[in-house]
Amino acid sequence: MAAEATTKAKAKLAEIELAAKYVAYLMEGLHGGDWRIKIDHRLGFVLMVGK
């Protein structure tokens, strides 16, 4: 059971990372430039900033 929970958690982490990269891609299309993503799951914090 623990292995299954770990696998599901890793899948959710990958899904969140992919979603954030997609938003960064959209921001690049709208505003130009490169966009940096910082996700801190412990703090419940997501940052996206143009470089």
Task: Enter the pTM of the model.
Answer: 0.83
Is 2 a residue whose pLDDT tops 90?
no
DSSP bridge pairs for 46: 39
DSSP bridge pairs for 35: 50
Residue 31 near residue 51, CB atoms below 8 Å? no
7-44, pLDDT tens digit by residue? Answer: 999 999 999 999 999 999 999 999 999 999 999 999 99
